[in-house]
Amino acid sequence: MPEDTIDVSITRRAAVAGGTAVAASAGLPRSSAAQGAGGAARPVGVGAGSVPAMPVSLKVNGRAAHLVLDTRVTLLDALREHLHLTGSKKGCDHGQCGACTVMVNGRRVVSCLTLAVMHEGDEVTTIEGLGTPDNLHPMQAAFVKHDGYQCGYCTPGQICSGVAVLGEIKAGIPSHVTADLLAPAQVTEAEIRERMSGNLCRCGAYSNIVEAITEVAGGQTTERQG
Ligand code: FES
Ligand code: FES
């Protein structure tokens, strides 16, 4: 078994037979698997006994993650509750705030609105996969430099979204405000604000967020005074 793959602590057969959800993933302590006393699998979620569990394999931040999940588990809950990657936040759980934004195969998704079992084989990047405290991703560093946050709750989603937004513009994907659909999309404030409109910030750090994203895009920004 490759070094970056964590052993599944309960067999799929046992998990399915028990009608249970079991988590086993990269970097997880064994205790994170959904097991009862004595290692017996226990049901997870309301009415879990009547809902078959399904195995799903993801690649999360470059590491293999093998899970057996209740089919109703969202990608967000799989990341937070089963893989213990709590950087992605649950704000509304209804697809309305963007706090849960992650990248799947390079494109951003609100992870609260998609089921984990729909992502067999997909590559998922969360805020934990972008950089480390000692080696920040350029977008993380720009958010710090430009005070692109206050409480920080929306920030992981904002940063993941910002990274993906620049990828969308680079790929020539137009937005609602793209003036010339025949020309390559430009990194303008209007484009950034439009594309980031699904990421809400209760602290109102919007102008600083735009500055941070603009800087990463190579645009000229001025640092705020004071
Ligand atoms: Fe997913 Fe708000 S928690 S959009
Ligand atoms: Fe507080 Fe955005 S920094 S919600």
Strand pairing category for 101-104 and 107-110? antiparallel
The ligand 2 site (C-beta within 6 Å) comprises 149-155, 201-203, 205
Q: Is 25 exposed, middle or buried (0-12, 13-18, 19+ CB in 10 A)?
A: buried
Cα 155 to Cα 14, 41, 146: the distances in Å are 39, 36, 13
Rounded to two decimals, what is the model's pTM?
A: 0.78
Ligand 1 geometric centre to CA of 101 (Å): 7
Q: Using one digit for the tens of pLDDT, what is the confidence trace for 77-92?
A: 999 999 999 999 999 9
Say whether domain 131-226 belongs to CATH 1.10.150.120: yes
Distance 65 CA to ligand 1 centre (A): 23
Break the chain into its structural domains and give their ranges: 53-130, 131-226
Looking at the chain, the whole-number percentage of residues with pLDDT higher than 70 is: 75
For range 18-30, the mean pLDDT = 37
Q: Which atom of ligand 2 is nearest to the CA of 154?
A: 2
Ligand lying nearest the CA atom of residue 158? 2
CATH superfamily of 53-130: Beta-grasp domain (3.10.20.30)
Each residue's pLDDT tens digit, 27-73: 333 333 333 333 333 444 444 557 789 999 999 999 999 999 999 99
